[in-house]
Amino acid sequence: MENRIENNLKSLSKTVLVNLPVDDKTYTLDEFVEMQEEWIDVESKKLRSKNFEVEGAVNDLIQTICSYQLDQHVEPISAEEIQKLSKYYNWSMYQALLFATKYSLNQMKERICGRRNDPKM
């Protein structure tokens, strides 16, 4: 489950949502917008794919938990606990996307404004 859920969530959180060129070339607004649209198209497909992978893995995990044969003296897993597990991974997905968004915005801010702690000459 770690490969199917946790690694995909980590990968999602490290996704950069904007394409900030590293070269010193200047771009027109139209070129920059086109470059961003292409980047967003590719990255959104990756995000969607990772989301489906995580969703499928969580459903498989829930299915495995529900179908596991317990001893007769052990209480079965309640629907409420299953729902908590599902909500936890929904929250984890939200957090991964939030982190990716914050990281991307900070990258853009650093690129536009420069680093805060750069020594002034």
Average pLDDT, the chain: 91
The model's confidence at residue 28, banded by pLDDT at 50, 70 and 90, is: very high
pLDDT, residue 21, reads 85
Q: Give the closest residue to 88 by CA, choosing from 96, 76, 99.
A: 96
Q: Give the closest residue to 5 by CA, choosing from 99, 89, 95, 62.
A: 89
Please say if the pLDDT value at position 45 is more than 70. yes
pTM equals 0.82
One-letter amino acid of 92? S
Classify 121 as helix, strand or coil: coil
Contact by Cβ (8 Å): 20, 105: no
Between 117 and 104, the higher pLDDT residue: 104
Please say if the pLDDT value at position 95 is more than 80. yes
Please say if the pLDDT value at position 120 is more than 70. no
